[in-house]
């Protein structure tokens, strides 16, 4: 059980060898390309079959040694820094290059003395026939000169260290090329994973922010509503208090069934506000008048759930509650250019012609601040929130993308 867990941790997406698929594909592709190029070149020369066999062994050995280099990088450069990976790759490639060079020289000296002879004819008509260490030079007149060469091992024995060193340089740069490619691909993969995780984290943070802002609405609204209900009970208007409780129950049952981070249609949002305004009409039956004007083509536009609630609450709190005159609350929607719509929520004293000083943005607590923050979190700079006094009252205007256009 412990061994299985250790294996899973090593090869999981977070394990030390999490990129083994990338390493395997790059190593096989690298040595396959090497093998194809040298074989194509060898096919045009003498003893092609023997050369193909030697090159295939070279490629197989290189495949094994490159996997060992990959293992060394992953085991010795655990933190994954480019500098440490390059350092480990540089040192791990050196013994691998020495082994490749020595093995190549060893295979080059391995010739079958009883194998088929090779024949080369010069432009002068002289034929050179070699079989193993025996070389025969046949002239045009039929005369032959036979020479027995010393074994290849003896010929290159004195030069072996230098030959291995020269071969090591060649193989070292070949292995280093794979290491550079692998490290670059690893960093690209890591950058891509980091970007994905950052995007996921940003999405999660965005959803959490929207959800947190949305949850601020409920206690704010509940406090205001219970305060209104208390006023009705204290003033002996129990019939209106009962009516208000029924409306309140309907409102909460409807609003709490909505996903806090979800969007609703504008028609659904307006229906929720009608429920709330019906509750407030119980408190102010003679002083509260409501006008709602929503074009049919905007009823299905998507808006954040309960985005209008704090604005309507402030209209009641600062418009109706503080005045003895009749107050009209107006909710209007209209389409703007550029795939946006504008929602205007205004409260004004009926018959008043001059501007009235209402509380500022900073004085509304979780009201307008909540709305503006939710719009910014939801739409970014594609939405804006404006507010200010108008003749006889105060108006808040929200501009936000229409759902179909935004998609």
Across 246-256, average pLDDT: 76
Residue 128 pLDDT more than 50? yes
Residue 266 pLDDT more than 90? yes
Across 377-389, average pLDDT: 86
Across 295-304, average pLDDT: 91
Residue 129 pLDDT more than 60? yes
pLDDT score recorded for residue 345: 95
What are the Cα distances from residue 75, in Å, to 61, 172, 178, 288? Answer: 21, 21, 18, 75
Domain finish residue from 204, 235, 266: 204
Helix or strand run (H / E) with residue 341: strand 340-349
Query: Which stretch of 17-31, 328-342, 386-400 has the lowest confidence by average pLDDT?
Result: 17-31
User: Domain check: are 274 and 370 in the same one?
Assistant: yes
Residue 109 pLDDT more than 90? no
Comparing CA positions, the residue from 316, 299, 306 lying closest to residue 375 is: 306
Query: Which stretch of 84-93, 95-104, 193-202, 285-294 has the lowest confidence by average pLDDT?
Result: 193-202
> The tokens of 290 are what?
């409501």
131 within 8 A of 113, measured Cβ to Cβ: yes
Query: Which stretch of 253-257, 272-276, 348-352, 355-359 has the lowest confidence by average pLDDT?
Result: 355-359
pLDDT score recorded for residue 289: 92
User: Domain check: are 195 and 231 in the same one?
Assistant: no
In this prediction, residue 6 has a pLDDT band, given cuts at 50, 70 and 90, of: very low
Helix or strand run (H / E) with residue 205: helix 160-215
What average pLDDT is seen over the chain? 76
User: Domain check: are 186 and 50 in the same one?
Assistant: yes
User: Domain check: are 189 and 268 in the same one?
Assistant: no
Across 248-257, average pLDDT: 75
In this prediction, residue 260 has a pLDDT band, given cuts at 50, 70 and 90, of: low
User: Domain check: are 38 and 182 in the same one?
Assistant: yes
Q: In terms of pLDDT, which residue wins out, 187 or 142?
A: 187
pLDDT score recorded for residue 290: 93
Say which residue the tokens 């295939």 belong to: 56
Whether 133 is covered by a domain: the verdict is no
Whether 392 is covered by a domain: the verdict is yes
Query: Which residue range forms the structural domain that includes residue 228?
Result: 216-406
pLDDT score recorded for residue 110: 62
User: Domain check: are 232 and 280 in the same one?
Assistant: yes
> How many Cα atoms sit within 13 Å of 382 on the Cβ side?
16
Across 163-192, average pLDDT: 87
Whether 124 is covered by a domain: the verdict is no
pLDDT score recorded for residue 363: 46
Domain count, the chain: 2
Q: How far, in Å, CA of 23 to CA of 28, rounded? A: 9
User: Domain check: are 277 and 177 in the same one?
Assistant: no
The pTM (predicted TM-score) of the whole model is 0.47
What are the Cα distances from residue 160, in Å, to 106, 171, 349? Answer: 10, 16, 105
pLDDT score recorded for residue 11: 52
Q: In terms of pLDDT, which residue wins out, 347 or 133?
A: 347
User: Domain check: are 241 and 368 in the same one?
Assistant: yes
CATH number at residue 308: 3.30.565.10
pLDDT score recorded for residue 64: 92
pLDDT score recorded for residue 407: 40
User: Domain check: are 294 and 380 in the same one?
Assistant: yes
pLDDT score recorded for residue 324: 78
Whether 309 is covered by a domain: the verdict is yes
Whether 122 is covered by a domain: the verdict is no
pLDDT score recorded for residue 361: 40
Q: How far, in Å, CA of 48 to CA of 133, rounded? A: 19
Residue 12 pLDDT more than 80? no
pLDDT score recorded for residue 292: 94
User: Domain check: are 170 and 38 in the same one?
Assistant: yes
User: Domain check: are 222 and 242 in the same one?
Assistant: yes
Whether 57 is covered by a domain: the verdict is yes
User: Domain check: are 167 and 20 in the same one?
Assistant: yes
Residue 90 pLDDT more than 80? yes
Whether 148 is covered by a domain: the verdict is no
Across 139-143, average pLDDT: 69
Q: In terms of pLDDT, which residue wins out, 305 or 362?
A: 305
Residues in Cβ contact with 134 at an 8 Å cutoff, skipping those fewer than 6 apart: 113, 146, 147, 148, 149
CA 206 from chain center: how many Å? 15
In this prediction, residue 320 has a pLDDT band, given cuts at 50, 70 and 90, of: confident
């Amino acid at each position: 059980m412990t061994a299985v867990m250790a294996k899973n941790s090593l090869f999981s997406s977070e394990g030390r060898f999490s990129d083994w698929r990338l390493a395997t594909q790059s190593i096989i592709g690298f040595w396959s390309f090497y093998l194809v190029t040298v074989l194509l070149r060898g096919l045009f020369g003498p003893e092609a079959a023997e050369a193909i066999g030697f090159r295939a062994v070279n490629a197989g050995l290189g495949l094994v040694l490159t996997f060992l280099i990959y293992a060394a990088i992953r085991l010795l450069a655990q933190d994954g820094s480019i500098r440490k990976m390059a350092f480990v790759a540089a040192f791990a490639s050196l013994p691998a290059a020495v082994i490749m060079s020595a093995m190549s020289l060893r295979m080059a000296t391995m010739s079958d003395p009883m194998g088929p002879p090779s024949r080369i004819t010069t432009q002068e008509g002289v034929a050179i026939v070699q079989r193993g260490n025996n070389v025969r030079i046949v002239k045009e007149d039929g005369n032959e000169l036979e020479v027995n060469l010393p074994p290849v091992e003896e010929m290159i024995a004195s030069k072996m260290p230098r030959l291995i060193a020269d071969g090591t340089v060649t193989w070292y740069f070949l292995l280093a090329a794979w290491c550079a490619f692998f490290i670059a691909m690893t960093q690209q993969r890591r950058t891509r994973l980091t970007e994905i995780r950052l995007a996921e984290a940003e999405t999660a943070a965005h959803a959490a922010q929207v959800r947190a802002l949305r949850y601020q609405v409920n206690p704010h609204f509940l406090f205001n509503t219970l305060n209104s209900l208390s006023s009705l009970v204290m003033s002996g208007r129990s019939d209106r208090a009962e009516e208000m409780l029924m409306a309140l129950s309907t409102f909460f049952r409807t609003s709490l069934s909505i996903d806090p981070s979800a969007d609703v249609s504008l028609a659904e949002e307006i229906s929720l506000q009608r429920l709330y305004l019906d509750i407030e009409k119980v408190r102010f039956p003679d002083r509260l008048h409501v006008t709602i004007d929503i074009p049919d083509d905007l009823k299905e536009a998507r808006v954040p759930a309960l985005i209008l609630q704090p604005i309507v609450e402030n209209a009641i709190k600062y418009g109706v509650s503080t005045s003895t005159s009749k107050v009209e609350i107006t909710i209007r929607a209209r389409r703007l250019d550029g795939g946006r719509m504008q929602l205007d929520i205004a409260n004004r004293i009926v018959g008043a012609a001059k501007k009235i000083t209402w509380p500022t943005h900073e004085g509304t607590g979780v009201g307008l601040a909540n709305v503006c923050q939710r719009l910014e979190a939801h739409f970014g700079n594609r939405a804006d929130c404006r507010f200010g006094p108008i003749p006889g009252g105060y108006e808040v205007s929200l501009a936000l993308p229409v759902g179909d256009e935004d998609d």
